[in-house]
Amino acid sequence: MSRIGLKAVAVPKGVTVEVKGDTVSAKGKVGSLTLKLVPEVSAKLDGGNVAVQAKDESDKARAMWGMTRTLINNMVHGVDTGFSTDLVIEGVGFRAAVEGKNLKMQLGFSHDVIYPIPEGIKITTGKPTEIKVFGADRQKVGQVAADIRAFRPPEPYKGKGIRYSDEHILRKEGKKK
């Protein structure tokens, strides 16, 4: 029995959730998201809560039960307050700026790296060395942050590159004479 799946997802004020067949949709001040349920689980709306139930006792149904509840919870939280990830750029001359619908980064290459900002994602640069990725969809926010980090991952000797703000880089010792 799933401990996570047993808990109902509370729907805060300002968020509307609809369950139609095998589709759950949520709409709030940040945006709107939909989730197609797998055939092994079902969801129903009880007042201000969304309850997820496994349809049978199969291994797959039990495995998908808790995951589906977490996905619905992330959806509700995302349309209510949203998710964000902070990135930090380290290196001499490394910087980023938002220009229209593109993120323009100078990362020590002979050319500028231009990343088109996907739909539903908002990217801001408070300082030239800080990037904030914000959106309603948790998976999409994480994927965009990982894509940006992949252009220049931090190296272990000087720590130059793009890293998450809470990431710790293990430093290596350089050459000895």
Q: Does domain 3-80 have CATH number 3.90.930.12?
A: yes
pLDDT of residue 4: 83
Residue 108 has pLDDT above 70, yes or no: yes
pLDDT of residue 46: 86
Alpha-helical runs (H) found in 22-173: 59-80, 138-150
**Chain-centre distance of CA 94, in angstroms?**
25
Q: ∠ CA(63), CA(70), CA(148), 5° rounding?
A: 110
Is 4 or 104 the better-scoring residue by pLDDT?
104
Residue 60 near residue 54 (C-beta atoms within 8 A): no
pLDDT, tens digit (0-9, with 9 covering 90-100), for 80-103 = 999 999 999 999 999 999 999 999
Is 167 or 4 the better-scoring residue by pLDDT?
167
pLDDT, tens digit (0-9, with 9 covering 90-100), for 12-66 = 998 999 999 899 999 999 999 999 999 999 999 988 899 998 888 888 888 899 8
Residue 104 has pLDDT above 90, yes or no: yes
Q: How far apart are CA 164 and CA 53, in angstroms?
A: 36
Q: Do domains 3-80 and 83-164 have the same CATH topology?
A: yes
Q: Does domain 83-164 have CATH number 3.90.930.12?
A: yes
Q: Give SS3 for 1.
A: coil
For the chain, list the strands marked E by DSSP: 9-10, 16-20, 23-27, 32-36, 41-46, 49-54, 83-90, 95-99, 102-106, 113-116, 121-124, 130-135, 161-164
Residue 137 is encoded by which pair of tokens? 């969809």
pLDDT, tens digit (0-9, with 9 covering 90-100), for 135-159 = 999 999 999 999 999 999 999 999 8
pLDDT of residue 177: 80
Q: How far apart are CA 64 and CA 75, in angstroms?
A: 16
CA-CA-CA-CA torsion sign (164, 165, 168, 170) = positive
Domain ranges in the chain?
Answer: 3-80, 83-164
